[in-house]
């Protein structure tokens, strides 16, 4: 019994040690963003600022057109998530509920596309979007979402495979066609899985850096992540403002994670992938 308790205690001590290690950078971020200029550059560092300068957030936000960046980010997040929800669920339904020639082969290809490094398609995509006149617009960040994403299709198909087929047999007898079955029966049933892919997609698009970096060049089109990355170059020494903006950008994903953590953690564990 004593030995067991000792083991448990050791486990807790190590877990707490790792937790502090994982939390320290966040803490460092938060405390720096509310420090006054005289306390930022101190060694040894001051953990808790003597006065809390919450006005740092407002000040930093107004240094750059962050309102505009926020608007652009929101446009991309909302429109691309709507696209993913409908297109991925439609495709997943097709793969899960029909038997057709080449189905398994095509599904293998869906899975295989997840392995292709982004760097290989980056240049042709740039040229393609350039040809369409989409460079420096938000379209390259939105339009592809309307064609489904391999990971989301995979996730939704897994979910659909778990639903018994009795429902659509009954609906078929009532004379509903395939699209009506998808729209009226399965779309509402898929709600938990659709929430999960929405969360993944919101996180992915909100955090995306390379897409905006390559496809946007006019500052007025920047998303928040890109805006923050350029902010570094312009305000090399203004650490407080940088940390304040970083805190603000981290808040929505973190809040969303806390609200949906059970779904996210279960989703990641069961599929082994992140959006």
Partner 1 sequence: MDISLDIKKRKRKKISIFKIKRDTLVPYLFIMPWILGFFFFTLGPLLFSLVISFFDWPIIGNPTFIGLANYKEMFFEDPQFWKSLGITAKFAGIFVPLNISVALILALLLNNNVKGSGIFKTLFYMPSVISGVALAMIWGWVYSDEYGILNYFLSTIGIQGPNWLGDPNWATFAMVFASVWGQGTMMLIFLAGLKNIPKELYEAADIDGANVVSKFMYITLPMLSPTILFNVITSIIGAFQQLSLALLLTGGGPVGSTYFYAMYVYDNAFKYFKMGYSAANAWFMFLIILSLTLLVFKSSSMWVFYESEATIKKKKG
Find the binding residues for partner 1 in span 201-230 (CB under 8 A): 203, 206-210, 213-214, 225-226, 228-229
Q: What angle do CA 182, 74, 213 make, to 5 degrees?
A: 110
Q: How many CB atoms lie within 10 A of CB 18?
A: 10
User: Of 55-74, which residues contact partner 1 (CB under 8 A)?
Assistant: none
Q: Tell which one of 6, 127, 170, 234 touches partner 1 (CB under 8 A).
A: 127
Quick one: which of 2, 3, 43, 105 contacts partner 1 (CB under 8 A)? 43
| Torsional class of 102: left (φ above 0), alpha (ψ -120 to 50), beta (otherwise) | left
* Binding status of residue 171 toward partner 1 by CB under 8 A: no
Scanning the structure block, which residue is given the tokens 């939105």? Answer: 142
Could you tell me the smallest distance in angstroms from the CB atom of residue 110 to partner 1?
7
Q: Is 36 in the site for partner 1 (CB under 8 A)?
A: no
Exposure string of 243-255, with b = 16+ CB inside 10 Å and e = fewer, is: bbbbbbbeebeee
1 interacts with partner 1 by CB under 8 A: no
120 in contact with partner 1 (CB under 8 A): yes
Identify the residue among 65, 68, 168, 253 touching partner 1 (CB under 8 A). 253
Q: Which stretch binds partner 1 (CB under 8 A): 21-29, 48-56, 57-65, 158-166?
A: 21-29
Q: What is the DSSP string of 90-114?
A: HHHHHHHH---TTHHHHHHHHHHHT
**Candidate list 119, 166, 174, 218; residue touching partner 1; CB under 8 A:** 119
Q: Judged by CB under 8 A, which of 22, 166, 174, 218 binds partner 1?
A: 22
**4: contact with partner 1 by CB under 8 A:** no
The region that residue 272 occupies, defined by phi over 0 for left and psi between -120 and 50 for alpha, beta otherwise, is left
The residue (of 75 and 207) whose beta carbon lies closer to partner 1 is 207
Residue 76 contacts residue 205 (beta carbons within 8 Å): yes
Could you say whether residue 49 binds partner 1 (CB under 8 A)?
Answer: no
Binding part of the chain for partner 1, among 48-56, 163-171, 187-195, 238-246 by CB under 8 A, reads: 238-246
* Using rule CB under 8 A, residue 117 touches partner 1: yes
- When asked if residue 239 is in the footprint of partner 1 (CB under 8 A), the reply is yes
For partner 1, the binding residue among 115, 173, 218, 237 (CB under 8 A) is 115
Across 140-160, b (16+ Cβ under 10 Å) vs e yields bbbbbbeebbbbbbbbbbebb
Near partner 1 by CB under 8 A: residue from 48, 118, 166, 173: 118
Residue 3 region, left (φ>0) first, then alpha (ψ -120 to 50), else beta? Answer: alpha
Number of residues in contact with partner 1 under rule CB under 8 A: 90
Task: Rule CB under 8 A: say whether 78 interacts with partner 1.
Answer: no
Q: Residue 35 class from Cβ within 10 Å (0-12 exposed, 13-18 middle, 19+ buried)?
A: buried
| Backbone angles phi and psi of 36, in degrees to 5 | -75, 160
């Amino acid at each position: 019994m004593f030995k067991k308790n000792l083991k448990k205690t050791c486990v807790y001590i190590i877990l707490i040690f790792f937790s502090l290690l994982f939390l320290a950078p966040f803490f460092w971020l938060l405390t720096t963003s509310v420090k006054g200029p005289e306390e930022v550059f101190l060694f040894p560092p001051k953990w808790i600022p003597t006065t809390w300068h919450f006005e740092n957030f407002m000040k930093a936000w107004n240094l750059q057109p962050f309102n505009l960046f926020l608007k652009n980010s929101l446009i991309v997040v909302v429109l691309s998530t709507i696209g993913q929800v409908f297109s991925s669920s439609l495709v997943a339904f097709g793969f899960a509920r029909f038997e057709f020639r080449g189905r398994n082969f095509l599904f293998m290809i869906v899975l295989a596309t997840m392995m292709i490094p982004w760097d290989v398609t980056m240049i042709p995509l740039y040229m393609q979007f350039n040809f369409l006149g989409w460079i420096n617009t938000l379209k390259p960040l939105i339009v592809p979402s309307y064609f489904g994403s391999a990971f989301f299709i995979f996730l939704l198909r897994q979910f659909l495979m778990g639903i018994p087929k009795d429902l659509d047999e009954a609906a078929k007898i009532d004379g509903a066609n395939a699209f009506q079955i998808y729209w009226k029966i399965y779309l509402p049933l898929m709600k938990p899985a659709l929430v999960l892919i929405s969360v993944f997609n919101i996180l992915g698009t909100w955090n995306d850096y390379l897409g905006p970096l390559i496809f946007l060049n006019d500052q007025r089109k920047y998303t928040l992540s890109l805006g923050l990355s350029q902010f570094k170059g312009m305000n090399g020494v203004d650490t407080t403002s940088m940390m304040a903006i970083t805190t603000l950008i981290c808040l929505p994903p973190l809040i969303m994670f806390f609200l949906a953590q059970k779904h996210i953690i279960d989703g990641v564990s069961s599929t082994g992938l992140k959006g």
